[in-house]
Amino acid sequence: MEILQKNLTSNEEPIINIIKYEDVENKIIIIQDLKVIIDSDVAELYGVETKEINQAVSQNPEKFPSEYVFKLTTEEKIEVVTNCDHLEKLKFSPN
């Protein structure tokens, strides 16, 4: 299974990227007994910066129901960084 992703910029032709299901599946981690994908991993999948994902969430809350978006506690963040090598960069991020 593949997910099609379209990136549209102002005057350019649409760019269509294919995100493989396996790439998405490899980003899923368990937090609070929920399957989640960390914002930086979502950004990587879509080929954008993490701040763009977070801006989209804060500017369009109606598109991101509260049960789909939550912030990690400090303890959860430490646990995620400890258990997920690819998230080591979060170690130094604020909150």
- Please report, in tens digits, the pLDDT of each residue of the chain (95 residues total): 444 455 545 556 666 778 888 888 988 988 888 888 888 899 999 889 989 998 998 898 888 877 788 888 888 888 888 888 777 776 556 55
CA 59 to chain centre: 16
Helix ranges, the chain (H): 21-25, 39-46, 50-59, 74-83
Q: What is the pLDDT of residue 81?
A: 83
Q: What is the pLDDT of residue 94?
A: 59
Asked whether the whole model's pTM tops 0.75, one would answer: no
Alpha carbons 86 and 76: distance in angstroms, whole number: 16
